[in-house]
Amino acid sequence: MMRVFVAGATGAIGSQLVPRLVAAGHEVHGMTRSASKQAMLSELGAVPVLADALDPDQVAEAVGSARPEVIVHQLTAIPGVVDMRRFDRDFALTNRLRTEGTDHLLSAGRAVGVRRFVAQAIAAYGVYARTGGPVKSEKDPFDPAPAREMRETVAAIRHLEEAVLGAEWTEGIVLRYGAFYGPGTSMAPGAEQFELVRRRKFPLVADGGGVWSFIHVADAAEATAAAVEHGRRGVYNVVDDDPAPVAEWLPALAQALGAKKPMRVPRFVGRLFAGEAGVMMMTGVRGASNAKAKRELGWRPAHPSWRQGFAAA
């Protein structure tokens, strides 16, 4: 049994993670900004803690009174639909949570001597270099030239990764999640991204050769719980077994939603409507391998492929 402090406990992933940690016998302290979400945290089995992640004193006090052995950082503020031409603007608050928010949690954790610090990163964009094979392992190099519209976002993710992995006083673990789908995410029946596909507003750009790795949010929570219990310092890709090009998954998703085939637009039209970032996501992005997470965390996704997973979302 451990005392675990979850920042972002009410979010898409946090709300799946908290009950799993509680069921495993851990004492969970869940952080939220809103007094109105405290009841929800109690129902999930956590001790609610009120704090704003961007206020260092509030974070220090929240962590100081919980005195956790493990901190989990799942703080984000991502809109349901991101304007790809203004990616950094739409991620501005998330970027602060990944830079200042990470630093505040780390220094509060250091003060109470947390022995493990698990943080959310991303395998979906701007991380792996867009050269070589379609599927990357944690050892593959970073993208040296992220799309112009997402430079600040990629810099924030790198800050988070470097700060967590560089914290020698604790076991720093970075989980690079694939694109989330499932309950509470924007890729679920009736939610924003599924609706864009259903209404044929999610076109295929050029050859649609960009490779995406997805992960059902419940599987992401399972892997996170495993990392909390026995992860080792380092990076883990938390993705499903089936990285696939947009040209494959997008028409399959449209079909599953009973929609018409997605529109196909040339690269220059894609650039006009979705910027360099949008074209990169559609044509250049690479997928990720989950071999290390399976091997070292003893984790297996219950939804090994988005092919069946989307239908079950």
Which residue, 123 or 279, is less far from ligand NAP as judged by CB? 123
**Residue 17 C-alpha from the chain's centroid:** 13
Q: Is 134 helix (H, G, I), strand (E, B) or coil?
A: coil
Alpha carbon separation from 141 to 98, 126, 190, 260 (Å, rounded): 21, 11, 37, 38
Contact 48/30 with Cβ under 8 angstroms?
yes
CA-nearest of 169, 144, 179 to 158 is 144
Tell me if 203 contacts ligand NAP by CB under 6 A.
no
Segment 258-287, which members bind ligand NAP (CB under 6 A)? none
CA 82, CA 72: separation in Å to the nearest integer? Answer: 25
Q: Does 103 bind ligand NAP (CB under 6 A)?
A: no
122 lies in the site for ligand NAP, by CB under 6 A: yes
What are the backbone angles phi and psi of residue 155, rounded to the nearest 5°? -65, -40
The yes or no reply on residue 186 touching ligand NAP (CB under 6 A) is yes
Comparing CB distances to ligand NAP, the nearer of 271 and 281 is 281
Pairing status of strand 211-212 against strand 244-245: antiparallel
Binding letters toward ligand NAP, positions 32-71, x by CB under 6 A? xxx--x--------------xxx-----------------
Q: How far is the CB of 92 from ligand NAP (least distance, A)?
A: 12
d(C-alpha 220, C-alpha 198), whole Å: 25
Side-chain half-sphere exposure of 124, counting CA atoms within 13 A: 18
Q: Site map for ligand NAP, 211-250, x if CB under 6 A?
A: ----------------------------------------
Backbone angles phi, psi at 164, to 5 degrees: -70, -45
Amino acid at 276: E
Shorter beta-carbon distance to ligand NAP: residue 41 or 271: 41
Site for ligand NAP contains 92 (CB under 6 A):
no
Q: Output the residue with the shortest Cβ distance to ligand NAP.
A: 11
Question: CB 296 → ligand NAP: shortest distance, Å?
Answer: 20
Our finding on whether 180 is near ligand NAP (CB under 6 A) is yes
The residues binding ligand NAP (CB under 6 A) are: 8-12, 14, 31-34, 37, 52-54, 75-78, 80, 97, 122, 124, 177, 179-180, 185-186
